[in-house]
Amino acid sequence: MPVTSGREAATSIDELVRHNAEDLLRYFQRRLLNDSDAAEALGELLLTAWKLRRRVPTDPTQGRMWLFVTAHNVLRDSRRTLARRSAAVERLVNDMRLLNGPTWDDTAIELRDALDRLPDEDAELVRLTYWDGLASHEAAAVLGINASTARSRLSRAKQQLRVALEEIDCEREGSTRVQAAPI
């Protein structure tokens, strides 16, 4: 039977929540990915219970069941919200990559292709140093190598990049000449 008085409803819902909050939190924790989502869902449940406090059954068993039914509904809504948020975040990340990502003009494409011709460790060292702005000793720490090894690899990688860029330039000029030649 629902409570009618505001003061009685507040007291009743306070007691009901106090006795069931831990079980309700565990309910959400077992069903959601992380504790912060579970805590947020519990907060949403408590807000809903407070708003509907005059409709909550006064019997403790029925009140508990009402809370769990409401928790089930909140969980369903939370999952929908999380799915929308995940999709929105994914779209935002993709949009940010397009907006803030490098513009791949011919020079950038040539550089990327030249980096692809380097050994993976050397290419990563170049990226860390020149793209990410790390000093050679910092890049060495990231890669787990000695700083002097990083410096020598970086020197060798720069020489290899020069050669690779010249080769790419020659390949490009050769393909341009072929395309421009009359049939």
What single string gives the DSSP state of each residue in the chain?
Answer: -B--SHHHHHHHHHHHHHHHHHHHHHHHHHHSSSHHHHHHHHHHHHHHHHHTGGGSBSSHHHHHHHHHHHHHHHHHHHHHHHHHHHHHHHHHHHHHHHHHSPP--HHHHHHHHHHHHS-HHHHHHHIIIIIS---HHHHHHHHT--HHHHHHHHHHHHHHHHHHHHHHHHHHHHHHHHHHS--
The answer to whether the beta carbons of residues 41 and 28 sit under 8 Å apart is: yes
Of 53 and 93, the structure prediction assigns the larger pLDDT to 53
> Within 13 Å, how many C-alpha atoms sit on residue 43's CB side?
6
At 1 the pLDDT is 47
Q: What is the CATH number of domain 106-180?
A: 1.10.10.10
Span(s) in the chain for CATH 1.10.10.10: 106-180
pLDDT in tens, 113-150: 888 899 988 988 888 888 778 889 988 888 889 999 99
Contact in structure between 137 and 150 (CB atoms under 8 Å) = yes
Whole-model pTM: value is 0.46
Which of 6-10, 11-15, 44-48, 61-65 is the least confident region?
A: 6-10
Q: Return the pLDDT at 100.
A: 58
- List CB contacts of 158: < 8 A, sequence separation 6 or more: 126
Select from 1.10.10, 1.25.40, 1.10.3470, 1.10.1740 the CATH code of 6-100. 1.10.1740
For 42, the token pair is 């519990």
The closest of 116, 104, 127, 12 to 60, measured between CA atoms, is: 12
Rounded-to-integer distance, Cα 13 and Cα 29, Å: 22
CA distances from 143 to 104, 114, 124, 136, 161 (A): 27, 21, 9, 10, 20
CA of 167: how far to CAs of 114, 126, 177, in Å?
A: 9, 19, 15
Give the residue-averaged pLDDT of 60-84.
Answer: 89
